[in-house]
Structure 1
Amino acid sequence: MRRILVIGIGTGNPAHVTMEAVEALNQAQVFFIPRKGPQKETLAHVREDICKRYIRHDAYRFVDVDIPARAPNPSDYTATVADWHARIEEAYAGAFLRELAEDGCGAMLVWGDPAFYDSTLRILDRMQARGSVMFEHEVIAGISSVQMLAARHRIALNRIGEPVLLTTGRKLRDGFPADADSVVVMLDGEQTFSRIDPQGLEIYWGAYLGMEEEILMHGPLDLLAARICTAREEARRRHGWIMDIYLLRRIPAGMADRAF
Protein backbone atom coordinates (compact mmCIF):
# COMPACT_ATOMS: atom_id res chain seq x y z
CA MET A 1 0.00 0.00 0.00
CA ARG A 2 1.12 3.55 -0.67
CA ARG A 3 2.56 5.35 2.33
CA ILE A 4 2.37 9.13 2.80
CA LEU A 5 4.51 11.00 5.32
CA VAL A 6 3.11 14.36 6.42
CA ILE A 7 6.20 16.19 7.65
CA GLY A 8 6.18 19.46 9.55
CA ILE A 9 9.24 21.41 8.37
CA GLY A 10 9.13 24.49 10.59
CA THR A 11 8.78 28.09 9.51
CA GLY A 12 11.37 28.32 6.76
CA ASN A 13 14.67 27.95 8.61
CA PRO A 14 16.32 24.60 7.76
CA ALA A 15 17.84 24.55 11.26
CA HIS A 16 14.35 24.06 12.69
CA VAL A 17 13.81 20.72 10.94
CA THR A 18 13.74 18.06 13.67
CA MET A 19 15.81 14.89 13.67
CA GLU A 20 12.59 12.88 13.36
CA ALA A 21 11.72 14.89 10.26
CA VAL A 22 15.18 14.27 8.78
CA GLU A 23 14.73 10.52 9.18
CA ALA A 24 11.30 10.77 7.56
CA LEU A 25 12.70 12.77 4.63
CA ASN A 26 15.16 9.97 3.97
CA GLN A 27 12.37 7.39 3.71
CA ALA A 28 10.42 9.09 0.91
CA GLN A 29 10.98 8.58 -2.80
CA VAL A 30 8.51 11.22 -4.05
CA PHE A 31 7.94 14.69 -2.61
CA PHE A 32 4.69 16.38 -3.57
CA ILE A 33 5.45 20.10 -3.75
CA PRO A 34 2.46 22.47 -3.67
CA ARG A 35 2.64 25.26 -6.22
CA LYS A 36 0.57 28.30 -5.34
CA GLY A 37 1.47 30.70 -8.11
CA PRO A 38 4.57 32.76 -8.96
CA GLN A 39 4.28 35.04 -5.92
CA LYS A 40 4.76 32.09 -3.57
CA GLU A 41 7.52 30.25 -5.39
CA THR A 42 9.84 30.93 -2.45
CA LEU A 43 7.79 28.51 -0.34
CA ALA A 44 8.32 25.74 -2.89
CA HIS A 45 12.04 26.49 -3.12
CA VAL A 46 12.43 26.29 0.68
CA ARG A 47 10.83 22.83 0.64
CA GLU A 48 13.17 21.68 -2.11
CA ASP A 49 16.23 23.15 -0.39
CA ILE A 50 15.39 21.34 2.85
CA CYS A 51 15.26 18.04 0.96
CA LYS A 52 18.59 18.69 -0.75
CA ARG A 53 20.19 19.60 2.57
CA TYR A 54 19.07 16.60 4.60
CA ILE A 55 18.43 13.67 2.27
CA ARG A 56 21.41 11.35 2.20
CA HIS A 57 20.69 9.68 -1.15
CA ASP A 58 19.64 10.74 -4.65
CA ALA A 59 16.80 8.24 -5.18
CA TYR A 60 14.04 10.80 -4.80
CA ARG A 61 12.22 13.30 -6.98
CA PHE A 62 9.88 16.26 -6.77
CA VAL A 63 6.36 16.31 -8.18
CA ASP A 64 4.62 19.65 -8.55
CA VAL A 65 0.99 19.87 -7.48
CA ASP A 66 -0.84 22.97 -8.66
CA ILE A 67 -3.02 24.24 -5.80
CA PRO A 68 -6.20 26.01 -6.90
CA ALA A 69 -6.93 29.42 -5.42
CA ARG A 70 -9.77 29.84 -2.96
CA ALA A 71 -12.54 32.21 -3.96
CA PRO A 72 -11.95 35.60 -2.27
CA ASN A 73 -14.51 37.18 0.09
CA PRO A 74 -16.99 34.29 0.02
CA SER A 75 -20.58 34.85 1.14
CA ASP A 76 -20.65 31.30 2.52
CA TYR A 77 -17.23 30.67 4.05
CA THR A 78 -17.81 27.04 5.05
CA ALA A 79 -19.19 26.00 1.67
CA THR A 80 -16.42 27.84 -0.18
CA VAL A 81 -13.70 26.13 1.87
CA ALA A 82 -15.36 22.73 1.35
CA ASP A 83 -15.36 23.27 -2.42
CA TRP A 84 -11.75 24.47 -2.31
CA HIS A 85 -10.66 21.41 -0.31
CA ALA A 86 -12.45 19.13 -2.79
CA ARG A 87 -10.44 20.65 -5.64
CA ILE A 88 -7.18 20.31 -3.72
CA GLU A 89 -8.05 16.71 -2.88
CA GLU A 90 -8.59 15.99 -6.55
CA ALA A 91 -5.20 17.47 -7.43
CA TYR A 92 -3.33 15.40 -4.84
CA ALA A 93 -5.28 12.20 -5.54
CA GLY A 94 -4.35 12.45 -9.21
CA ALA A 95 -0.70 13.06 -8.34
CA PHE A 96 -0.61 10.09 -5.93
CA LEU A 97 -2.08 7.76 -8.56
CA ARG A 98 0.18 8.96 -11.36
CA GLU A 99 3.46 9.44 -9.55
CA LEU A 100 3.61 7.03 -6.59
CA ALA A 101 3.88 3.27 -6.97
CA GLU A 102 1.42 1.17 -4.96
CA ASP A 103 4.22 0.17 -2.58
CA GLY A 104 5.95 3.58 -2.69
CA CYS A 105 6.56 6.17 0.00
CA GLY A 106 5.68 9.79 -0.66
CA ALA A 107 5.91 12.93 1.45
CA MET A 108 4.02 16.19 1.89
CA LEU A 109 6.07 18.95 3.51
CA VAL A 110 3.87 21.15 5.67
CA TRP A 111 4.94 24.65 6.68
CA GLY A 112 5.18 24.84 10.47
CA ASP A 113 3.21 22.01 12.04
CA PRO A 114 0.26 20.11 10.48
CA ALA A 115 -1.84 20.59 13.65
CA PHE A 116 -2.28 24.38 13.43
CA TYR A 117 -4.69 25.78 10.84
CA ASP A 118 -3.43 23.58 8.03
CA SER A 119 -5.77 21.51 5.87
CA THR A 120 -3.43 18.74 4.76
CA LEU A 121 -4.70 16.14 7.23
CA ARG A 122 -8.35 16.96 6.53
CA ILE A 123 -7.76 16.59 2.80
CA LEU A 124 -6.08 13.21 3.30
CA ASP A 125 -8.99 12.12 5.51
CA ARG A 126 -11.42 13.11 2.73
CA MET A 127 -9.37 11.18 0.21
CA GLN A 128 -9.43 8.04 2.35
CA ALA A 129 -13.15 8.36 3.05
CA ARG A 130 -13.92 8.63 -0.67
CA GLY A 131 -11.60 5.74 -1.50
CA SER A 132 -10.12 7.57 -4.48
CA VAL A 133 -6.61 6.43 -3.49
CA MET A 134 -5.60 3.72 -1.05
CA PHE A 135 -2.79 4.73 1.31
CA GLU A 136 -1.69 4.88 4.91
CA HIS A 137 -0.13 7.98 6.42
CA GLU A 138 2.00 9.17 9.32
CA VAL A 139 2.41 12.64 10.80
CA ILE A 140 5.73 14.12 11.92
CA ALA A 141 5.37 17.23 14.06
CA GLY A 142 7.23 20.42 13.22
CA ILE A 143 8.18 23.66 14.94
CA SER A 144 5.19 25.96 14.50
CA SER A 145 4.93 29.70 14.03
CA VAL A 146 3.11 29.76 17.38
CA GLN A 147 6.22 28.44 19.11
CA MET A 148 8.52 30.65 17.07
CA LEU A 149 6.55 33.78 17.94
CA ALA A 150 6.99 33.10 21.65
CA ALA A 151 10.65 32.20 21.26
CA ARG A 152 11.55 35.26 19.20
CA HIS A 153 9.82 37.61 21.66
CA ARG A 154 11.28 35.67 24.62
CA ILE A 155 7.89 35.19 26.30
CA ALA A 156 5.59 32.47 27.55
CA LEU A 157 2.31 32.54 25.65
CA ASN A 158 0.19 32.07 28.75
CA ARG A 159 0.13 33.90 32.04
CA ILE A 160 0.36 31.73 35.16
CA GLY A 161 -2.59 29.37 35.27
CA GLU A 162 -4.35 31.08 32.36
CA PRO A 163 -5.37 29.64 28.97
CA VAL A 164 -4.40 30.84 25.51
CA LEU A 165 -6.93 31.11 22.70
CA LEU A 166 -5.68 30.17 19.23
CA THR A 167 -7.85 31.66 16.50
CA THR A 168 -7.96 33.41 13.11
CA GLY A 169 -8.33 36.97 11.92
CA ARG A 170 -11.82 36.16 10.65
CA LYS A 171 -12.89 35.16 14.15
CA LEU A 172 -11.38 38.33 15.65
CA ARG A 173 -13.61 40.65 13.61
CA ASP A 174 -16.11 41.02 16.44
CA GLY A 175 -13.40 42.24 18.80
CA PHE A 176 -11.09 40.85 21.45
CA PRO A 177 -12.95 38.03 23.25
CA ALA A 178 -14.41 39.27 26.52
CA ASP A 179 -13.42 36.13 28.43
CA ALA A 180 -9.86 35.86 27.08
CA ASP A 181 -6.52 37.16 28.37
CA SER A 182 -4.11 35.99 25.65
CA VAL A 183 -5.11 35.38 22.02
CA VAL A 184 -2.81 34.06 19.28
CA VAL A 185 -4.10 35.05 15.83
CA MET A 186 -3.16 33.24 12.61
CA LEU A 187 -4.27 33.64 8.99
CA ASP A 188 -5.05 37.34 9.29
CA GLY A 189 -4.59 38.75 5.81
CA GLU A 190 -6.79 41.75 6.61
CA GLN A 191 -4.87 43.07 9.63
CA THR A 192 -7.92 42.68 11.86
CA PHE A 193 -5.90 43.85 14.85
CA SER A 194 -6.10 47.36 13.39
CA ARG A 195 -9.92 47.29 13.33
CA ILE A 196 -10.72 46.30 16.90
CA ASP A 197 -10.76 48.44 20.05
CA PRO A 198 -7.05 48.62 21.03
CA GLN A 199 -7.49 49.96 24.53
CA GLY A 200 -5.82 47.84 27.19
CA LEU A 201 -4.17 45.50 24.69
CA GLU A 202 -0.57 44.86 23.71
CA ILE A 203 0.60 43.03 20.60
CA TYR A 204 3.53 40.74 19.91
CA TRP A 205 3.80 40.53 16.12
CA GLY A 206 6.16 38.58 13.90
CA ALA A 207 6.56 37.91 10.17
CA TYR A 208 8.86 35.49 8.30
CA LEU A 209 9.69 33.93 11.66
CA GLY A 210 12.99 32.07 11.62
CA MET A 211 13.98 33.39 8.20
CA GLU A 212 16.47 36.08 7.19
CA GLU A 213 13.56 38.42 6.41
CA GLU A 214 12.18 38.15 9.96
CA ILE A 215 10.40 41.23 11.40
CA LEU A 216 9.35 41.61 15.05
CA MET A 217 7.33 44.30 16.83
CA HIS A 218 5.92 44.56 20.35
CA GLY A 219 4.06 47.27 22.21
CA PRO A 220 0.63 48.77 22.96
CA LEU A 221 -1.78 47.98 20.16
CA ASP A 222 -3.00 51.56 19.82
CA LEU A 223 0.56 52.75 19.16
CA LEU A 224 1.70 49.91 16.90
CA ALA A 225 -1.30 48.93 14.76
CA ALA A 226 -0.64 51.43 11.97
CA ARG A 227 3.13 50.81 12.01
CA ILE A 228 2.61 47.06 11.68
CA CYS A 229 0.19 47.53 8.78
CA THR A 230 2.75 49.69 6.96
CA ALA A 231 5.64 47.30 7.62
CA ARG A 232 3.53 44.33 6.59
CA GLU A 233 2.48 45.87 3.27
CA GLU A 234 6.03 46.98 2.45
CA ALA A 235 7.38 43.49 3.19
CA ARG A 236 4.65 41.77 1.18
CA ARG A 237 5.34 44.06 -1.77
CA ARG A 238 9.10 43.50 -1.52
CA HIS A 239 8.99 39.70 -1.23
CA GLY A 240 5.76 38.93 -3.07
CA TRP A 241 4.31 37.06 -0.09
CA ILE A 242 4.13 37.24 3.69
CA MET A 243 3.38 34.92 6.59
CA ASP A 244 2.78 36.56 9.93
CA ILE A 245 1.25 35.79 13.31
CA TYR A 246 0.62 37.74 16.49
CA LEU A 247 -0.32 37.51 20.14
CA LEU A 248 -2.80 39.97 21.62
CA ARG A 249 -2.75 40.21 25.40
CA ARG A 250 -4.52 42.32 27.98
CA ILE A 251 -2.24 44.78 29.75
CA PRO A 252 -2.64 44.16 33.50
CA ALA A 253 -4.38 46.87 35.49
CA GLY A 254 -1.90 49.44 36.74
CA MET A 255 0.65 48.64 34.03
CA ALA A 256 -0.84 50.52 31.11
CA ASP A 257 1.82 53.22 31.36
CA ARG A 258 4.81 50.88 31.61
CA ALA A 259 7.68 51.39 29.22
CA PHE A 260 7.73 49.15 26.13
Structure 2
Amino acid sequence: MSAIDLTLIGIGTGNPEHLTLQAIRAMNAQDMILIPRKGPGKADLAELRRAICDEVLTGKGTRIVEFDLPVRDERTADYRQRVDDWHDEIAGAWKAAMAEYPEASRIALLVWGDPSLYDSTLRIAARLRPAPRVAVIPGITSLQALTATHAIPINEIGAPFLVTTGRRLRNEGWPVGVDTLAVMLDGDCAFTALDPAGLHIWWGAYVGMAEEITCAGPLADVSERIVRMRAEARERHGWIMDIYILRRH
Protein backbone atom coordinates (compact mmCIF):
# COMPACT_ATOMS: atom_id res chain seq x y z
CA MET A 1 0.00 0.00 0.00
CA SER A 2 1.49 3.35 -1.04
CA ALA A 3 1.44 6.33 1.27
CA ILE A 4 -2.00 7.87 1.64
CA ASP A 5 -3.62 10.93 3.14
CA LEU A 6 -5.75 9.67 6.03
CA THR A 7 -8.30 12.08 7.46
CA LEU A 8 -9.96 11.34 10.80
CA ILE A 9 -13.22 13.26 10.88
CA GLY A 10 -14.99 13.91 14.17
CA ILE A 11 -18.73 13.53 13.54
CA GLY A 12 -20.13 14.31 16.97
CA THR A 13 -22.62 11.93 18.54
CA GLY A 14 -24.38 10.73 15.40
CA ASN A 15 -26.57 13.77 14.79
CA PRO A 16 -25.83 15.12 11.28
CA GLU A 17 -26.35 18.63 12.65
CA HIS A 18 -23.22 18.13 14.76
CA LEU A 19 -21.06 18.09 11.63
CA THR A 20 -18.95 21.18 11.12
CA LEU A 21 -18.58 22.80 7.72
CA GLN A 22 -14.94 21.70 7.82
CA ALA A 23 -16.06 18.08 8.32
CA ILE A 24 -18.51 18.25 5.42
CA ARG A 25 -15.87 19.70 3.10
CA ALA A 26 -13.38 17.04 4.18
CA MET A 27 -15.86 14.21 3.56
CA ASN A 28 -16.53 15.47 0.04
CA ALA A 29 -12.79 15.65 -0.69
CA GLN A 30 -12.18 11.93 -0.08
CA ASP A 31 -11.68 9.09 -2.53
CA MET A 32 -12.85 6.60 0.08
CA ILE A 33 -14.65 6.62 3.42
CA LEU A 34 -14.30 3.53 5.62
CA ILE A 35 -17.28 2.43 7.69
CA PRO A 36 -16.80 -0.28 10.35
CA ARG A 37 -19.45 -2.91 11.01
CA LYS A 38 -19.59 -3.95 14.67
CA GLY A 39 -21.96 -6.90 14.30
CA PRO A 40 -25.75 -7.20 14.23
CA GLY A 41 -26.19 -5.92 17.78
CA LYS A 42 -24.64 -2.59 16.79
CA ALA A 43 -25.88 -2.30 13.20
CA ASP A 44 -27.37 1.10 14.03
CA LEU A 45 -23.87 2.56 14.37
CA ALA A 46 -22.93 1.68 10.79
CA GLU A 47 -26.34 2.82 9.59
CA LEU A 48 -25.85 6.21 11.23
CA ARG A 49 -22.56 6.66 9.41
CA ARG A 50 -24.21 5.65 6.12
CA ALA A 51 -27.02 8.14 6.75
CA ILE A 52 -24.51 10.91 7.40
CA CYS A 53 -22.71 10.09 4.14
CA ASP A 54 -26.01 10.05 2.23
CA GLU A 55 -26.90 13.44 3.62
CA VAL A 56 -23.67 15.35 3.07
CA LEU A 57 -21.87 13.76 0.10
CA THR A 58 -22.70 15.84 -2.93
CA GLY A 59 -20.86 13.99 -5.69
CA LYS A 60 -20.30 10.39 -6.74
CA GLY A 61 -16.53 10.36 -6.52
CA THR A 62 -16.33 9.10 -2.91
CA ARG A 63 -16.49 5.34 -2.42
CA ILE A 64 -18.03 3.96 0.77
CA VAL A 65 -16.20 0.82 1.88
CA GLU A 66 -17.44 -1.20 4.84
CA PHE A 67 -15.41 -3.66 6.87
CA ASP A 68 -15.99 -5.91 9.87
CA LEU A 69 -14.43 -4.55 13.02
CA PRO A 70 -12.43 -7.22 14.90
CA VAL A 71 -13.75 -8.24 18.31
CA ARG A 72 -11.43 -7.73 21.26
CA ASP A 73 -10.21 -10.99 22.77
CA GLU A 74 -10.98 -10.83 26.50
CA ARG A 75 -9.10 -14.02 27.37
CA THR A 76 -5.75 -12.27 27.87
CA ALA A 77 -5.40 -11.28 31.52
CA ASP A 78 -3.50 -8.04 30.91
CA TYR A 79 -5.92 -5.28 29.84
CA ARG A 80 -3.30 -3.18 28.06
CA GLN A 81 -2.10 -6.20 26.09
CA ARG A 82 -5.67 -7.01 25.06
CA VAL A 83 -6.11 -3.48 23.75
CA ASP A 84 -2.75 -3.47 21.92
CA ASP A 85 -3.53 -6.77 20.20
CA TRP A 86 -6.98 -5.51 19.25
CA HIS A 87 -5.58 -2.31 17.77
CA ASP A 88 -3.15 -4.37 15.67
CA GLU A 89 -6.10 -6.35 14.31
CA ILE A 90 -8.08 -3.20 13.55
CA ALA A 91 -5.13 -1.69 11.68
CA GLY A 92 -5.00 -4.87 9.63
CA ALA A 93 -8.72 -4.60 8.86
CA TRP A 94 -8.26 -0.99 7.74
CA LYS A 95 -5.39 -1.98 5.47
CA ALA A 96 -7.42 -4.79 3.89
CA ALA A 97 -10.36 -2.45 3.28
CA MET A 98 -8.11 0.20 1.74
CA ALA A 99 -6.62 -2.41 -0.60
CA GLU A 100 -10.03 -2.90 -2.27
CA TYR A 101 -9.37 0.30 -4.22
CA PRO A 102 -5.59 0.77 -4.34
CA GLU A 103 -5.96 3.85 -6.51
CA ALA A 104 -7.58 5.74 -3.60
CA SER A 105 -5.08 8.12 -2.02
CA ARG A 106 -7.43 10.22 0.14
CA ILE A 107 -9.16 8.07 2.73
CA ALA A 108 -11.24 9.02 5.75
CA LEU A 109 -12.73 7.46 8.85
CA LEU A 110 -15.72 8.97 10.62
CA VAL A 111 -15.01 9.09 14.34
CA TRP A 112 -17.71 9.35 16.99
CA GLY A 113 -17.24 12.55 18.96
CA ASP A 114 -13.67 13.70 18.45
CA PRO A 115 -10.49 11.68 17.79
CA SER A 116 -8.77 13.30 20.77
CA LEU A 117 -11.06 12.19 23.64
CA TYR A 118 -11.04 8.55 24.73
CA ASP A 119 -10.75 7.36 21.16
CA SER A 120 -7.94 5.22 19.76
CA THR A 121 -8.25 6.00 16.05
CA LEU A 122 -5.04 8.05 16.07
CA ARG A 123 -3.16 5.26 17.85
CA ILE A 124 -4.41 2.71 15.31
CA ALA A 125 -3.46 4.99 12.41
CA ALA A 126 0.09 5.12 13.77
CA ARG A 127 0.35 1.34 13.24
CA LEU A 128 -0.19 1.52 9.49
CA ARG A 129 2.77 0.93 7.21
CA PRO A 130 3.73 2.82 5.20
CA ALA A 131 2.74 5.57 7.58
CA PRO A 132 -0.06 7.75 6.21
CA ARG A 133 -0.14 11.51 6.34
CA VAL A 134 -2.76 12.06 9.03
CA ALA A 135 -5.11 15.03 9.36
CA VAL A 136 -7.74 15.47 12.09
CA ILE A 137 -11.03 17.32 11.76
CA PRO A 138 -12.32 18.07 15.29
CA GLY A 139 -15.85 17.13 16.28
CA ILE A 140 -18.34 17.74 19.06
CA THR A 141 -17.60 15.37 21.94
CA SER A 142 -20.15 13.48 24.01
CA LEU A 143 -18.96 15.57 26.96
CA GLN A 144 -19.89 18.78 25.16
CA ALA A 145 -23.23 17.30 24.12
CA LEU A 146 -23.93 16.24 27.72
CA THR A 147 -23.22 19.66 29.22
CA ALA A 148 -25.31 21.27 26.48
CA THR A 149 -28.33 19.03 27.00
CA HIS A 150 -28.25 19.68 30.77
CA ALA A 151 -27.33 23.36 30.25
CA ILE A 152 -24.49 23.26 32.78
CA PRO A 153 -20.82 24.28 32.80
CA ILE A 154 -18.37 21.43 33.22
CA ASN A 155 -16.30 23.24 35.85
CA GLU A 156 -16.87 25.39 38.89
CA ILE A 157 -15.31 28.89 38.80
CA GLY A 158 -11.54 28.56 38.67
CA ALA A 159 -11.72 24.86 39.57
CA PRO A 160 -10.30 21.85 37.72
CA PHE A 161 -12.23 18.81 36.58
CA LEU A 162 -11.09 15.34 35.60
CA VAL A 163 -12.17 13.16 32.68
CA THR A 164 -11.82 9.49 33.59
CA THR A 165 -13.28 6.04 32.95
CA GLY A 166 -15.74 3.89 34.81
CA ARG A 167 -13.05 1.25 35.27
CA ARG A 168 -10.74 3.65 37.10
CA LEU A 169 -13.53 5.13 39.19
CA ARG A 170 -14.63 1.69 40.36
CA ASN A 171 -11.12 0.37 41.00
CA GLU A 172 -9.50 3.49 42.48
CA GLY A 173 -12.36 5.51 43.94
CA TRP A 174 -12.75 9.27 43.80
CA PRO A 175 -9.52 10.96 42.63
CA VAL A 176 -7.77 13.31 45.00
CA GLY A 177 -7.80 17.04 44.29
CA VAL A 178 -10.96 17.44 42.18
CA ASP A 179 -14.63 17.87 42.96
CA THR A 180 -15.97 17.33 39.41
CA LEU A 181 -15.58 14.17 37.35
CA ALA A 182 -16.66 13.41 33.78
CA VAL A 183 -16.94 9.64 33.47
CA MET A 184 -16.82 7.80 30.14
CA LEU A 185 -16.67 4.16 29.06
CA ASP A 186 -18.60 2.94 32.09
CA GLY A 187 -20.32 -0.34 31.32
CA ASP A 188 -21.01 -1.22 34.96
CA CYS A 189 -22.45 1.98 36.50
CA ALA A 190 -19.39 2.63 38.66
CA PHE A 191 -21.22 5.46 40.44
CA THR A 192 -23.14 2.80 42.38
CA ALA A 193 -19.91 1.92 44.20
CA LEU A 194 -19.55 5.46 45.64
CA ASP A 195 -20.92 6.87 48.86
CA PRO A 196 -23.66 9.09 47.34
CA ALA A 197 -23.69 11.64 50.17
CA GLY A 198 -23.06 15.12 48.76
CA LEU A 199 -22.81 13.94 45.14
CA HIS A 200 -24.87 15.23 42.22
CA ILE A 201 -25.00 13.45 38.84
CA TRP A 202 -25.88 14.57 35.33
CA TRP A 203 -26.27 11.49 33.11
CA GLY A 204 -27.14 10.99 29.47
CA ALA A 205 -27.22 8.24 26.87
CA TYR A 206 -27.30 8.69 23.08
CA VAL A 207 -26.77 12.40 23.77
CA GLY A 208 -27.48 14.53 20.74
CA MET A 209 -29.34 11.72 18.97
CA ALA A 210 -33.07 11.14 18.50
CA GLU A 211 -32.85 8.37 21.13
CA GLU A 212 -31.37 10.70 23.78
CA ILE A 213 -32.35 9.99 27.39
CA THR A 214 -31.13 11.95 30.40
CA CYS A 215 -31.42 12.06 34.16
CA ALA A 216 -30.00 14.40 36.79
CA GLY A 217 -30.23 14.94 40.53
CA PRO A 218 -28.65 13.98 43.83
CA LEU A 219 -26.94 10.64 43.32
CA ALA A 220 -28.73 9.11 46.29
CA ASP A 221 -32.09 9.92 44.68
CA VAL A 222 -31.49 8.98 41.03
CA SER A 223 -28.83 6.23 41.05
CA GLU A 224 -31.29 3.33 40.84
CA ARG A 225 -33.35 5.13 38.22
CA ILE A 226 -30.29 5.61 35.99
CA VAL A 227 -29.30 1.94 36.34
CA ARG A 228 -32.84 0.96 35.31
CA MET A 229 -33.02 3.44 32.42
CA ARG A 230 -29.65 2.30 31.13
CA ALA A 231 -30.57 -1.39 31.22
CA GLU A 232 -33.89 -0.77 29.49
CA ALA A 233 -32.28 1.35 26.76
CA ARG A 234 -29.57 -1.21 26.11
CA GLU A 235 -32.17 -3.95 25.82
CA ARG A 236 -34.26 -1.83 23.47
CA HIS A 237 -31.45 -0.74 21.12
CA GLY A 238 -28.93 -3.56 21.52
CA TRP A 239 -26.16 -1.08 22.39
CA ILE A 240 -25.65 2.02 24.48
CA MET A 241 -23.25 4.95 24.65
CA ASP A 242 -23.57 7.01 27.81
CA ILE A 243 -21.60 9.51 29.85
CA TYR A 244 -22.09 11.36 33.11
CA ILE A 245 -20.75 14.15 35.28
CA LEU A 246 -20.41 13.81 39.04
CA ARG A 247 -19.93 16.83 41.29
CA ARG A 248 -19.11 16.80 44.97
CA HIS A 249 -20.52 19.62 47.12
Q: TM-score range by the shorter chain?
A: over 0.9
Shift of the 212–218 alpha-carbon distance from structure 1 to 2, 3 Å rule, reads same
Task: Give the match for residue 152 of structure 2.
Answer: 155
Counterparts in 2 of 1:190-229, with a 5 A limit? 190-229=188-227
Letter in 2 for 1:169: G
Task: Give the match for residue 134 of structure 2.
Answer: 137
The structural deviation recorded for 1:134 is 4.3
The structural deviation recorded for 1:96 is 2.1
Task: Give the match for residue 258 of structure 1.
Answer: none
Counterparts in 2 of 1:1-260, with a 5 A limit? 1-72=3-74, 75-101=77-103, 104-127=105-128, 132-173=129-170, 174-251=172-249
Q: Is the 8 A contact 1:203 1:248 kept in 2?
A: yes
The structural deviation recorded for 1:69 is 1.4
Q: Is the 8 A contact 2:15 2:209 kept in 1?
A: yes
Deviates more, 1:241-250 or 1:172-181: 172-181
State, as a whole percentage, how many aligned pairs show the same letter.
48
TM-score, scaled relative to structure 1: 0.91
Q: Is the 8 A contact 1:146 1:245 kept in 2?
A: yes
Q: Is the 8 A contact 2:207 2:213 kept in 1?
A: yes
SS in 1 for 2:43: helix
Q: Is the 8 A contact 2:164 2:182 kept in 1?
A: yes
**Which contiguous aligned blocks of 4+ residues in structure 1 show a shift greater than 6 angstroms?**
none
CA distance in 1, matches of 2:198, 2:42: 36
CA distance in 2, matches of 1:163, 1:191: 23
The structural deviation recorded for 1:226 is 1.0
TM-score, scaled relative to structure 2: 0.95
Q: Is the 8 A contact 2:5 2:106 kept in 1?
A: yes
Q: Is the 8 A contact 1:93 1:133 kept in 2?
A: no
SS in 2 for 1:88: helix
Letter in 1 for 2:148: A
Shift of the 182–229 alpha-carbon distance from structure 1 to 2, 3 Å rule, reads same
Letter in 2 for 1:120: T
1:118-172 deviation line (CA, Å, top 9, x unaligned): 1100001122xxxx33421210000010100110000100000011100100110
Structure 1: give runs of 5+ residues left out of the alignment: 252-260
Letter in 1 for 2:157: I
Structure 2: give runs of 5+ residues left out of the alignment: none
Letter in 2 for 1:90: G
Q: Is the 8 A contact 2:125 2:132 kept in 1?
A: no
The structural deviation recorded for 1:177 is 1.7
